[in-house]
Every structure is written in structure tokens, then in C-alpha cells.
Amino acid sequence: MNTPIKVEYEKTIKKRDEIKELLKKLESEKPKDHYNITINRDRLAYWEGKSEGLKFALDHPGDVHS
């Protein structure tokens, strides 16, 4: 039952970590590139929110309705 959620969670964590690294690189190498930094912060927030939701679904399988 949790297999599709777990697979999606793992993909989400991977994507979140990739964006985190990109953001760190942007902030250190191009600190004045406010546009790209802001866009990537927004992307990171999206993936962090998605990962938190999927983590909740994994931790509380009885609370999630199909």
C-alpha cells in the first residue's frame, strides 16, 4: 500500500536535495543574481512541502484515504 508513496517520497527527497545544492551554489557564486535565487528558493519550498506531505502519509497510513 505504501510502496507508490514511498517511491514518490524518495524521488521528492532527491529532487529537494538537488535544488538545495543548486541554491547553495548560486548564493555563493552569484549572490547578486536575485531572480534565479528567488526562483530556486520557491522551487525548494515546493519540494520541501511535497516531501513533508508524503512523509506524513508514510507515517500515518491510516489517516490517508485513497
Whether residue 8 is contained in a domain is answered as yes
Residue 28's pLDDT is 97
Give the model confidence (pLDDT) of 38-49 as tens digits. Answer: 999 999 999 999
What is the extent of the structural domain holding 55?
A: 3-59
Whether residue 66 is contained in a domain is answered as no
Please, what is the end-to-end C-alpha distance for the chain in angstroms? Answer: 10
Give the model confidence (pLDDT) of 6-34 as tens digits. Answer: 999 999 999 999 999 999 999 999 999 99
pLDDT above 70 (res 1): no
| Prediction pTM value | 0.84
Whether residue 64 is contained in a domain is answered as no
Q: What is the dihedral of CA 44, 48, 49, 52, to 10 degrees?
A: 180
* Domains identified in the chain, total number: 1
